[in-house]
Each structure stands twice: as C-alpha cells, then as structure tokens.
C-alpha cells in the first residue's frame, strides 16, 4: 500500500518544476528500468506490481515498493501504464569533461521531447556517447523524452550548456545541417567532429550558424513540386550520424 501523498509526489515529476526541485525524474517500463538498473545512475526507488517483482528480482540495495496496477496507473505518465516505475536522481555532466577526441552531437533548440529521445536513442545505436544540448532544448529528463530513448539515456552523457560559448572553445570541425551546403554523401568526416542539428521549425540559430565551419545538406529526391519542405529533426540527425559512420576518416 502506498500513500496518496506519495502518489501525488511522484505524479508531479511529470512537470519540469518539480523535477528541478526534487532532483528526480521518472523512468517507466521493463526495458528502460532494466537498462537503468545496469547503469551508473542512482535509483531512488522502484515501484512495481507483484507480478513484475516475481519475474524481476531486485538487488537488496534497491529501495522497492510493491504497488497495485491502480496505484501505478495513478502515478504513471503513460496513457497505458506498464508494470514498473522508478524514480532516479538527475545526473549532471560537466561540459568541461567532454572528450574532445570523440565526436559530439550538438542540439540547437530541439523542443519536441519525442525528437530528443529519438536522437539520443539513435546516437546510442551509432556509437555516439556525447550529446550537448543548448539551454532552450527540452530537458532530457522529460518523461516523453525518456520513453522515446527506450533505455538509451542510461548509456549517454547528455550535457546542457550555452552552445555558442561551447563551440567557440573547440578546435575541430563544426558541421551543421542546412537547406544548402555540401551534399552529405560527398562529405568526409573527422573522428572529433561536432555535428549540429537545429530547431524543428527554425533550424540552426544565427549565433551557432556563425560558428559552423562546414555546411552540409541532405538532398531531397522528391519529384513533386509540392514535396516536404524539410526533414524531421530526429530523421535528419539519423542520416547525419549514419553518414558520419560511413565516411569517418
């Protein structure tokens, strides 16, 4: 049995304000929680049904509360709640610890939590470990972002910092996606490139654009004069990451 006050406390973590105040965020679902328990992230508490706990014995070091499906539904952020939910300490990664020998995905004003989550998941798939977000990006602890990562958030270092200031300090190629530029299939990438993906509606901001050393373009093959104007930000990021892996020098 879990108190109504505790349920309310957890439910509030769907909101940025309460995540910031508590220093906690929510992770839901077997895949994400399983990956979480294998990571270095600090788990505050796990809430799960008896059925889930019987199938997934937890280490004694993990605080755990058995809850009913109804209780889980009341604390969940999902339309269709799953059998397990965990509260987790928000990690804070210092931008000064970024490995300049390795590539970075830099996100300039990504606002949609699903897009951010998909980009993090795709970065994990293509072997990227470092994602740098501008302060106006949606926070990666947003429940919809965490859900979209499908557990990949556990393996990524997601930084938040002033993007122009960050880029000014780097002595490497900074590549940005634009509607004009070098066709991506001709680009040769370096191991420590910074790959910039812009806002869903407005693209890369002017302040960041001024620091981009190479403009790259994903060409369209549409034949209709009324074809789509641009790619979704997460799809564009996927194409760039794939081409990077194909053409890294």
Q: What percent of the chain has pLDDT over 90?
A: 89
The pLDDT value recorded for residue 153 is 97
Are 76 and 100 in a shared domain?
no
E-state strands within the chain: 24-28, 43-48, 64-66, 84-89, 104-107, 130-133, 157-160, 174-183, 194-197, 214-217
Are 213 and 169 in a shared domain?
yes
3-20 pLDDT, tens digit each: 999 999 999 999 999 999
d(C-alpha 122, C-alpha 117), whole Å = 9
The pLDDT value recorded for residue 191 is 95
28-69 pLDDT, tens digit each: 999 999 999 999 999 999 999 999 999 999 988 999 999 999
Are 124 and 202 in a shared domain?
yes
Are 42 and 160 in a shared domain?
no
d(C-alpha 76, C-alpha 238), whole Å = 30
Are 77 and 188 in a shared domain?
no
Are 78 and 192 in a shared domain?
no
Helix (H, G, I), strand (E, B) or coil at 83: coil
Residues 189 and 214 sit within 8 Å (Cβ to Cβ): no
Are 118 and 241 in a shared domain?
yes
Q: Hey, what are 228's tokens?
A: 């789509």
The pLDDT value recorded for residue 69 is 93
Are 45 and 100 in a shared domain?
no
**Domain boundary residue among 67, 89, 111?**
89
Are 139 and 61 in a shared domain?
no
pTM for the full predicted model? 0.94
The pLDDT value recorded for residue 61 is 92
Range of the domain at 141: 95-247
**Domain boundary residue among 89, 109, 135?**
89
The pLDDT value recorded for residue 103 is 97
User: How far does the chain reach from its first CA to its final CA, in angstroms?
Assistant: 58
Are 112 and 228 in a shared domain?
yes
d(C-alpha 242, C-alpha 236), whole Å = 10
The pLDDT value recorded for residue 151 is 96
**Domain boundary residue among 68, 89, 110?**
89
Using the predicted structure, report yes or no on whether residue 1 has a pLDDT greater than 80: no
Compute the average pLDDT of residues 103-126.
Answer: 98
The band of 247, judged by pLDDT with boundaries at 50, 70 and 90, is confident
Looking up residue 35, the CATH number of its domain turns out to be 3.30.1330.30
Report how many domains make up the chain.
2
Are 145 and 69 in a shared domain?
no
Are 40 and 104 in a shared domain?
no
Helix (H, G, I), strand (E, B) or coil at 224: coil
Residues 248 and 190 sit within 8 Å (Cβ to Cβ): yes
Looking up residue 193, the CATH number of its domain turns out to be 3.40.1280.10
185-205 pLDDT, tens digit each: 999 999 999 999 999 989 999
d(C-alpha 24, C-alpha 79), whole Å = 21
């Amino acid at each position: 049995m879990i108190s109504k006050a505790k349920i309310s406390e957890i439910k509030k973590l769907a909101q940025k304000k309460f995540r910031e105040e508590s220093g906690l965020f929510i992770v839901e679902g077997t895949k994400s929680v399983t990956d979480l328990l294998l990571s270095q992230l600090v788990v505050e508490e796990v809430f799960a049904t008896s059925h889930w706990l019987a199938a997934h014995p937890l280490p004694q070091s993990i605080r755990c509360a058995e809850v009913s499906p109804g209780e889980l539904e009341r604390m969940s952020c999902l339309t269709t709640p799953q059998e397990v939910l965990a509260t987790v300490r928000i990690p804070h990664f210092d931008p000064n610890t970024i490995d300049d020998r390795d590539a970075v995905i830099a996100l300039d004003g990504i606002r949609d939590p699903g897009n951010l989550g998909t980009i993090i998941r795709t970065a994990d798939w293509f072997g990227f470990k470092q994602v740098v977000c501008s302060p106006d990006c949606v926070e990666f602890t947003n429940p919809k972002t965490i859900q979209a990562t499908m557990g990949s958030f556990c393996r990524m270092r997601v930084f938040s910092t002033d993007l122009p200031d960050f880029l000014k300090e780097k002595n490497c190629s900074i590549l940005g996606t634009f509607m004009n530029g070098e066709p991506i299939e001709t680009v040769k990438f370096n191991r420590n490139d910074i790959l910039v993906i812009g806002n869903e509606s407005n693209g890369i901001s002017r302040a960041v654009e001024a620091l981009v050393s190479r403009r790259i373009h994903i060409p369209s093959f549409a034949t209709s004069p009324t074809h789509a104007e641009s790619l979704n930000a997460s799809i564009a990021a996927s194409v760039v990451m794939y081409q990077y892996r194909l053409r890294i020098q």
